[in-house]
Chain A
Amino acid sequence: MSKKQKWISFAVFAVLICVFLVGSFIVKSPGEEETIQETMRNEVLHETAKISLFGIKDVNPGLISAFCVTGIITAFAVIVRIFVIPRFRYVPGKFQLLLEEAVGTFDRMAKGSSPHLNRFLGAYIFMAGAYIFIGTIFELFGFQAVTTSGMSVALPAPLSDINGAITMGCLSYLIILSGGITSNGLKGVGRTLKDFSLPISMSFRLFGALLSGALVTELVYYYVGLSYVLPVVVGVLFTLIHALIQAYVLTMLTALFYGEVSEKPAPKRKKIKASV
């Protein structure tokens, strides 16, 4: 790019930024009609912002996000399965390497945490990691949906909905329980039930982490004055970082507990009576 082209690009960006800045002051923010307390409460509880699910039931926006994320991932998986995987080579290209690394990371994590039983665990944590990561990044795009009250809301991360977080937490616990039963039968059930607080802690950890991200973003966007420059850090960087961290934490915890409960107990040593 020549020096002249650089200057033209710079000027175009500067004009665009100025136009958007002026436009943001001219156009009235709809958020001003709602107090910050109401916005925060609505983010947590979704009492008023409900979306109709094909006219069957009014659901939280998080559930719609979950379906959207599943749809996106499914479309991606179908395209990859049809067009990319059959063209895989022994010496991988960049995209193949990315896919292999994604699968390989979770596979290695499963094998490392539970060397004796890991086939199902690897597949589960791959799914969980992909769902949490992509689901959290999903909120960055700000896809709009219309609520039952006719308001427009940006679709949040699926797991910032308490029901989504409870599902992931409890499902992970059930997977851990299944590992215990498969490996150790009733003993495995006992071992798993010993950590009875696990589903609650997992659910609320996910919910808290993702909700806090959503709340901070909402708080920043609520005030016009904070809507410049700051969202670049808060909106993008924080979301990316906590998407990675939450995906890693839940998958790692699931793999660790799975490995712990499915581990075969060491055979007891017979006591040898000392002959007098």
Chain B
Amino acid sequence: MPLNIDWQQILLHLFNVTLLFAVLYFLLYSPIKKFMQKRSEHYLEMEREAERKLADADAVKKEQEEKQVRFDEEMAGVRSKIEAEARDSAEKTLADAKKEAEKILEANKANAQREKEKILQEASAQISEMAVEAAKKVVMESTSGAYDSFLDSAKGAKTDE
């Protein structure tokens, strides 16, 4: 054969290469590739797990936010209710106090009126008593004076005689 080409040697080379292929495939290529695949699957799984956890955390966060919103709404409702009740109660208390005050005022007014009337009555009684006394006095004074002047004049006339 030209160029020293030898079919037998080509077949021997072929045998050698096939043997090498089998050795490299089973001892190096396949196990290393399997390991690399396993590792990438491991990291993918980790990534998926992280995404799942992130999604769960997001869901929990969303749920918490919704709960917070609901709670805020409930709290706002309760607050407004309590405020309304407090306002009503305060108004009622105020109204009661006003009524009470009015009552007290009325009672006081009545008492005062009564006292006034009583005082007036007493005063008028005293005044009239005093007036009577004064009149009596005046009368007595005028009568005694007259008697006195009469007696004095009578006395004078007697002396003249």
Contact = CB atoms under 8 A, between A and B. Distances in A.
Interface of A: 44-47, 53, 57, 59-60, 63, 66-67, 69-70, 73-74, 77-78, 80-81, 85, 88, 90, 99-100, 103-104, 107, 122-124, 126-127, 130-131, 158, 161-164, 166-168, 170-171
B28 A70 contact: no
B5 A168 contact: no
B4 A45 contact: yes
Interface string B1-38: 00111101110111011011101110111111101100
B52 interface: no
A167 B13 contact: yes
Interface string B31-65: 11101100100100000000000000000000000
B4 A167 contact: no
Contacts of A162: 3-5
Contacts of A123: 21, 24-25, 29-30
Given A124-B21, A168-B17, A103 B3 contact: no
A66 B33 contact: no
28 contacts: A45-B4, A46-B4, A53-B12, A60-B4, A63-B12, A66-B13, A66-B16, A67-B16, A70-B16, A70-B23, A74-B27, A77-B23, A81-B28, A90-B42, A99-B28, A99-B32, A103-B32, A122-B29, A123-B25, A123-B30, A126-B24, A127-B29, A163-B12, A166-B10, A167-B10, A167-B14, A167-B17, A168-B13
Interface of B: 3-6, 8-10, 12-14, 16-17, 19-21, 23-25, 27-33, 35-36, 39, 42
Given A57-B8, A60-B9, A88-B35, A127 B14 contact: no
Given A70-B19, A127-B20, A171-B17, A166 B5 contact: yes
Given A103-B36, A107-B33, A131 B20 contact: yes
Residue among B5, B8, B27, B30 with the most chain A CB within 10 A? B27
A158 B17 CA distance: 11
A163 B28 CA distance: 27
Contacts of B14: 167, 171
A70 B3 contact: no
Contacts of A69: 20
A137 B3 CA distance: 24
A126 B20 CA distance: 11
B80 to A, nearest CB: 59
Contacts of B13: 63, 66, 158, 161, 163-164, 166-168
A168 B21 CA distance: 12
Nearest to B32: A103
Given A63-B9, A163-B9, A167-B14, A47 B4 contact: yes
A126 B19 contact: no
A60 B32 CA distance: 35
Contacts of B42: 90
A63 B29 CA distance: 25
B32 A85 contact: yes
Contacts of B23: 70, 73-74, 77
